[in-house]
Amino acid sequence: MDAFTTHTGTAAPLRRSAVDTDQIIPAEYLKRITRTGFEDGLFSALRRNEPDFVLNRPEHAGASILVAGPDFGTGSSREHAVWALLDGGFRVVISSRFGDIFRNNSTKSGLLTVLLPQEEVERLQAAVEADPALPVTVDLQDRAVSYSGTTVPFEIEDYTRWRLLEGLDDVGLTERHLSDVEAYEADRPSWLPRVLPVP
Amino acid sequence: MPKTLAEKVYEAHVVRRADGEPDLLYIDLHLVHEVTSPQAFDGLRAAGRTVRRPDLTMATEDHNVPTLDILAPIADPVSRAQVEALRRNAAEFGIRLAPMGDRDQGIVHVIGPQLGLTQPGTTIVCGDSHTSTHGAFGALAFGIGTSEVEHVLATQTLPQYRPKQMAVTVDGELPPGVSSKDIILAVIARIGTNGAQGHVIEYRGSAIEALSMEARMTICNMSIEAGARAGLVAPDETTFAYLQGRPHAPQGADWDAALEHWRTLRTDEDAVFDREVRIDAASLTPYVTWGTNPGQGLPISERVPDPADLTDEDERRAAEQALAYMGLTPGTPLREIEVDTVFLGSCTNGRIEDLRIAAELLRGRRIDPGTRMLVVPGSVGVKTQAEAEGLDRVFVEAGAEWRGAGCSMCLGMNPDQLSPGERSASTSNRNFQGRQGKGGRTHLVSPSVAAATALTGKLTAPADLDFTAQLETAGV
């Protein structure tokens, strides 16, 4: 995945709570077997049904930071939701609460999910509503979101931060510890279920 | 130090623990389906990796599969290509696959328990958020994304952070006509769709202990709808009786050794939960959802809520958006909401007991002529069993459609979809906007409410049924 250090861009305020991953990308787009090219599915129902939806508004075209309501990315485990956001030009999603699986998926593909207190999220939403061209900087190195003289710190696990800064994928990291895996496997009870052979 | 059941299972699977890093957790069983796996297999190929433990990996076709003409090639070329990709990948990497037409095919969360692969104390993952279903056996089972699917295929492990612990205690006796689906809808309505975020839920208490395995699966299945990482129930005699004799359950001396271990899988008496919720089973009634997330539910005796009554701004806006999408007016009694389609099926309520409960209400009766009812067994095994019991004839004679096995209208990746504006009562798990088809409107219900609703054409509890009109129509 691409490394993430710092990103500056414009932001789109998504004033909705509990935006589930079905809304981020509906199931019909999940039939594809590729890992890219999901931008047409991003929020497709909301874009179609609501002319005033934030991503339909010309002043937010080109936004790369999504400032979302609470409980963003709940529901389905579809990593396509992360891919669609990346394909749609987003590098960062900010919210006061994320669905666990979505947040975990985001760390595997280089989409930065930033947790801020709800009042800070709303302050940022108001700022970008007042000035859609406002540049917002998200600095993973310094763990801070900055805009128009305001700097808000955020927390992220050291390990996840390191992986994102380096752009490392987990499989390669785990393969360094295969001897631990082998040792664990040697002690597994023999009665544990096996899928093969077919009885 | 006293531990919860989930902590015991977690700790028993830690392969490696190091300061400042997530734990590396061993995975006992990896279930795979066609939608979230193709990019993972591509990743393996690109890196020249193999599947580390094909013997702990099981694949099936469920999300895309049509429920009519199941032996013909899939008409939708995109769905067909995805299913064919799984077949190629399973063959290339040596993974057992239950394809369409196979006796073991079905929804991934229905076949694991059915085959006896789902066992107490194990760790189970799948690229599907409803993997929590398997927690009903006292397994730590959770949904993962495609990158993690690739990680498990390659290493049979996952990096994980220790989850927080939550207890949902349901004591007392459920009133007649109230089911485990109503318990979980009530729990989600209480704590919200992300109320258990970061937690594993242990469902406990006398009402949970009294439930069958299939009813426990319904509850654990919807743990994710409360935002939980997983949900589980301590294994007991009900669990062991369900497992014994299943194709992949241990046998002979292995069974005795497994049983000895399984009996230790209980939360210690003085273990501490980070959060506890208590529900009185006797106070529950059938629940239905009125909105566009599973937390927007109420007892069926209530009315569509008025967003103006909500003080929290976010909740009010969410309710307004939900009612606009659902085409509902505040104050309307839920029982007066007319539905077009009833869907009985899914990994939540597509097992044999669900079909039996619905068939019992439909036996000898006709569904409302303006309502269509789809009955989709969760697996070929469930379908075969239902047909052996004559349930298929009960459904067909009542005017319902008897279909092949799969995920079907739960998420409409196959041709079974709602049309724009069409309203369903559905035994599935999500009433999200567009979930069952573009513009479709979903009310989540239990199997008995689904059957009662099919008979009247309006959201109906089994206890509400008055068959006078029907009997008159039938000339009785």
pLDDT digits (tens, 9 = 90+) for B163-215: 999 999 999 999 999 999 999 999 999 999 999 999 999 999 999 999 999 99
Q: How many whole angstroms separate alpha carbon B64 and alpha carbon B42?
A: 20
Name the nearest CA neighbour of B452 among B288, B230, B275, B208. B288
pLDDT (tens place) for every residue of chain A, 199 residues total: 889 999 999 999 999 999 999 999 999 999 999 999 999 999 999 999 999 999 999 999 999 999 999 999 999 999 999 999 999 999 999 999 999 999 999 999 999 999 999 999 999 999 999 999 999 999 999 999 999 999 999 999 999 999 999 999 899 999 999 999 999 999 999 999 999 865 4
Name the 3-class secondary structure at B124: strand
Q: Which residue does chain B place closest to A29, by CA atoms?
A: B413
Residue B461's Cβ-side half-sphere holds a number of Cα atoms within 13 Å equal to 21
Contact call for residues B362 and B454 (beta carbons, < 8 A): yes
Query: What is the C-alpha separation between B10 and A192, in angstroms, rounded?
Result: 16
Task: Inform me whether the C-beta atom of residue B404 falls under 8 Å from chain A C-beta atoms.
Answer: no
User: In chain A, what residues touch B250 (CB-CB under 8 Å)?
Assistant: 191, 193
Q: Specify the DSSP element, H or E, that contains B425.
A: strand B423-426
Burial of residue B78, with CB atoms counted within 10 A of its CB: 0-12 exposed, 13-18 middle, 19 or more buried:
middle
- To the nearest whole angstrom, how far is the Cα of B241 from the nearest Cα of chain A? 17
Task: Tell me the C-alpha distance between B172 and B159, whole Å.
Answer: 39
CB-based contact (8 Å) between A130 and chain B?
A: no
B128 touches chain A (CB under 8 A): yes
Is residue B373 over pLDDT 90?
Answer: yes
Amino acid symbol at A152: V
Q: What is the per-residue pLDDT for B473? A: 46
Q: What is the pTM of this model?
A: 0.97
**SS3 state of residue A180:** helix
- Render pLDDT for B244-291 as a digit per residue (tens, 0 to 9): 999 999 999 999 999 999 999 999 999 999 999 999 999 999 999 999
The string of pLDDT tens digits covering residues B356-366 is 999 999 999 99
> How far apart are alpha carbons B384 and B405 in whole angstroms?
10
- What is B361-424 written as a DSSP string? HHTT----TT-EEEE--SBHHHHHHHHHTTHHHHHHHHTPEE--SSSGGGTTSSS--PPTT-EE
In this predicted complex, what is the ipTM? 0.97
Whether B62 contacts chain A with CB within 8 A: no
DSSP string covering B234-261, please?
---HHHHHHHTT-TTS--THHHHHHHHH
Write the DSSP assignment of B458-470 as a string of letters. Answer: B---GGG---HHH
Backbone angles phi, psi at B405, to 5 degrees: -85, 145
Which residues, listed in sequence order, are joined to residue B59 by a DSSP beta bridge? Answer: B32, B97
pLDDT at position B471 is: 44
* Coil, strand or helix at B170: strand
Contact A71 B42 (CB under 8 A): no
Distance CA B9, CA B344 (A): 33
pLDDT of residue B70: 85
